[in-house]
Structure 1
Amino acid sequence: MTNIKLIKKLTITTILAAISSSANATYLENTQVKYGGYIKLDTIWSDYSDSSEDGSVYDGLGRDFYVPSTTPVGSGVNNPDAVFDMHARQSRFNFSTLSKLDSGKSIKTKIELDFIVSPGGNERVSNSHAPRIRQAFITYDGWLFGQAWSNFQNVSVLPETLDFVGPAEGTIFVRQSQIRYTTGGISLSIENPESTVTVNKSRIETDDASLPDFNAKYTHKSEWGHIAVAGLIRQLTYKAQGIDTDETAYGVSLSGRINVGKNNFKFMLNQGSGLGRYVGLNIAHGGVLTSNNNIEAIDSTSGFLAYQHNWSTQIRSTFLYSFIEIENDINLLNLTGDPTQSSISYSANLLYSPEKKLTFGIEFKHANREVESGLEGDLNRLQFSAKYSF
């Protein structure tokens, strides 16, 4: 009997029982079907030390979650009023399957959606934000095909924060299409290429690389936690206005988790030339187009350290420090404008889970961004969130 015929025979009672089950799963012939996700409300109070270039209060993506490059910088003369925002855009839903094949092997699929960083309705009436694909992939016999977290990133060391990303300037953070192979603690991947290059003081996104991005990662796991080291090599390109040039970029990342009783430390340290979009939510571009029509890769060092302390079985806190230092060539500033030189942030939160999957929390974040001219700006943010996972 085919899956379609079986679905037709499922009774309303069976479907409702599957939906209400604690595992959020049911079986259709030899396929396990699961769903999950969470509903999350964020209330965010943001106080910027400086206004936007036109003198108004900053209004953009950085109001929904912390994006280091959006922290306004200035002389501090025009100190704007604090702003308050509420949204449920981080809420997400995922659907996955696990099927046993005739060969005895298994094949898995997963698709995940959320509503953040997407267009949609306005705040005047509907707030009808469009869903977007976060992940969509197949895994079979050690292989992964589709869109997923980059193999260069260690997702498991992201600390528990109310902010959408947390250590935004200090972490590798990329999802993209890829082909990955994993055996034991080693994983190799080829991934979709994309370059961000500064041309005449503007960011140009180029999608004309002749090769994919290559990366490899080794993860060692133990009772005390785990440690991972990853390497990346890729091609920065610019092909426009009669110019055809490219430059090799590379990066390394060391990350891990160290358990200390019921508590833990998480960390990441990244260094590279031309990392660009891979780190800091693209706070630095991959390279700069010089007056000789060559690409000069931009060097950067970034990382974070987080400590999570469990005060009780229901109450916990995460303390976080995150940074990035960008080595812009001062001889090219006339071509690049006034790029970011550094960004740091500190945060601390208090999370309370009266039930296993229900969490209420409050978090304070302080951030500072400085550009090459010496101008800087601060952000103080207080956030309250309510989240229920299913």
Structure 2
Amino acid sequence: MLHKKLFTIKKLALATSLLAVTGAANAGYTLKLDDDNSITFGGYIKVDTRYVDGNIAATDYWYGGGTVLAKDQSNFGIAANETRFNTKYVHGDVTGFIEIDFYGDAVSGGGNEVISNSSKPRLRHAFIQYKDVLVGQTWTTFQNTSSLAESADFGGPLVASAFIRQGQIRYTNGGLQLSIENPESYGGYRGDSTTRDDSVPDFIGKYTFKGDWGNVSVSALGRQLKSVTGNTETAIGYGVAGRINTFGKDDFRFQVHGGNVGRYVGVTASTDMVGEEAEDTTSIMVAYRHFWTEDMRSSVFYGNTQTDLTDRDRSHWGVNLFKNVTKQLSFGLEVGNFEMAESDADSNYVQLSAKFVL
């Protein structure tokens, strides 16, 4: 009976959503050592079967850009790279969290599709939180993770979503969050994806309104960008995002971003700088999730980002159906389209996903 005095193992309530990016830890087993100390192990195994057809080259998931092909091509693939593992350590008022997935570089020292299909572990989150202060790498404060669409394709319409993990120091007081975060200027001349290290951190403020009805956040972003010639430019951006409960278990999710948001929105859909000017971006993402039954649900989503200097116009839409076989095991089927209108290119996709929450 001694081991029962040392710790108890408790299975946590599991989040069964296929969207794993709505939080750092979405499930786990907790080893409770005493009243002030515990260790939680979590993560999931996810396998994606994906068919892509069109003149944008196939990828593991759609982000804000892609390779335009000379003619339409089709591609079929099966991958498990989104699989991830995390641990959370709690010691009184101090929490430490680490998470990895397997989207790391598979070419240099990894594997290939000829033999092993290996890929390296990749750090997603690594942070320390003491009371109201967080330091380390995690989701940017500018982002409202609860507003991301539920999708089989990783992250849904990332082309129009705020989506960054990076080093930061964050202070939280109720609904107010303030942070300084790792700076990086992305983009140079038209079509250039050059990046430059900056000397002034990015400043972010966000306030989130919460209630039984859901939540809405308002974010502001201030940066000093550096051009390819070394000149600096002040950049200001904003965001409004949220998830609103509607009928039954249904919900409506949205994101609207504008100004000089650059690399913070669209996952390479827009750049920070073009020549000596900061680029303006306008992005909108909407999604509606409907529960057909307790264990079956669908989401329909759409996202679009447009830029003023590079004249990019990129969109992603999709519709899906998810079925929970058990609380831990779920399957999803999704069809959709990713478009780069400025290049007269688009690709359709069909994806089947299986996910087992640890």
Same fold (TM over 0.5): yes
SS at match of 1:156: helix
Following TM superposition, by how much is the alpha carbon of 1:220 offset from its aligned partner in structure 2, in angstroms?
0.5
Q: Aligned letter for 2:72?
A: N
SS at match of 1:69: coil
Partner deviation per Cα, 1:343-368 (whole Å, 9 max, x = no partner): 11210000000111211010001121
Following TM superposition, by how much is the alpha carbon of 1:161 offset from its aligned partner in structure 2, in angstroms?
0.5
Aligned-partner Cα distance in 1 for 2:190–2:245: 48
Q: Which residue of 2 aligns with 1:170?
A: 160
Give the 5 Å matches for 1:60-209. Answer: 63-70=59-66, 72=68, 78-80=71-73, 82-100=74-92, 106-119=93-106, 120-199=110-189, 201-207=191-197, 209=198
The alpha-carbon distance between structure 1 residues 20 and 173, as it changes in their structure 2 partners (threshold 3 A), is closer
Following TM superposition, by how much is the alpha carbon of 1:73 offset from its aligned partner in structure 2, in angstroms?
6.3
- Does residue 26 (structure 1) correspond to residue 31 (structure 2)? The answer is yes
Aligned-partner Cα distance in 1 for 2:11–2:257: 43
**Do the aligned residues in 2 keep the contact of 1:283 with 1:340 (CA within 8 Å)?**
no
Higher Rg: 1
**CA RMSD between the two structures:** 2.1
SS at match of 1:169: helix
Aligned-partner Cα distance in 1 for 2:38–2:338: 45
Aligned-partner Cα distance in 2 for 1:351–1:21: 22
Aligned-partner Cα distance in 2 for 1:21–1:164: 24
Q: Which has the higher helix share?
A: 1
The alpha-carbon distance between structure 1 residues 96 and 238, as it changes in their structure 2 partners (threshold 3 A), is same
Normalised to the residue count of structure 1, the TM-score between the two structures is: 0.82
**Do the aligned residues in 2 keep the contact of 1:340 with 1:370 (CA within 8 Å)?**
no
Partner deviation per Cα, 1:115-137 (whole Å, 9 max, x = no partner): 11433211111122110110000
Q: Aligned letter for 1:361?
A: G
SS at match of 1:362: strand
Normalised to the residue count of structure 2, the TM-score between the two structures is: 0.89
Q: Which residue of 2 aligns with 1:384?
A: 352
Q: Which residue of 1 aligns with 2:286?
A: 305
Q: Aligned letter for 2:163?
A: F
Give the 5 Å matches for 1:41-52. Answer: 41-48=47-54, 50=55
Q: Which residue of 2 aligns with 1:292?
A: none
Structure 1: 5+ residue runs without aligned partners?
1-8, 52-57, 101-105, 290-294, 329-338
Following TM superposition, by how much is the alpha carbon of 1:253 offset from its aligned partner in structure 2, in angstroms?
0.4
The alpha-carbon distance between structure 1 residues 122 and 72, as it changes in their structure 2 partners (threshold 3 A), is same
Partner deviation per Cα, 1:191-233 (whole Å, 9 max, x = no partner): 00001122375321101x2210000000010111111000001
Identical amino acids, percent of aligned pairs: 37
Q: Which residue of 2 aligns with 1:278?
A: 264
Q: Which residue of 1 aligns with 2:21?
A: none
Q: Which residue of 1 aligns with 2:24?
A: none
SS at match of 1:252: strand
Structure 2: 5+ residue runs without aligned partners?
14-27
SS at match of 2:120: coil
The alpha-carbon distance between structure 1 residues 84 and 26, as it changes in their structure 2 partners (threshold 3 A), is same
Aligned-partner Cα distance in 2 for 1:258–1:79: 39
**Do the aligned residues in 1 keep the contact of 2:64 with 2:160 (CA within 8 Å)?**
no
Following TM superposition, by how much is the alpha carbon of 1:79 offset from its aligned partner in structure 2, in angstroms?
2.7
Aligned-partner Cα distance in 1 for 2:50–2:311: 25
The alpha-carbon distance between structure 1 residues 369 and 387, as it changes in their structure 2 partners (threshold 3 A), is same
Choose the corresponding residue for 1:267, options 245, 254, 269.
254
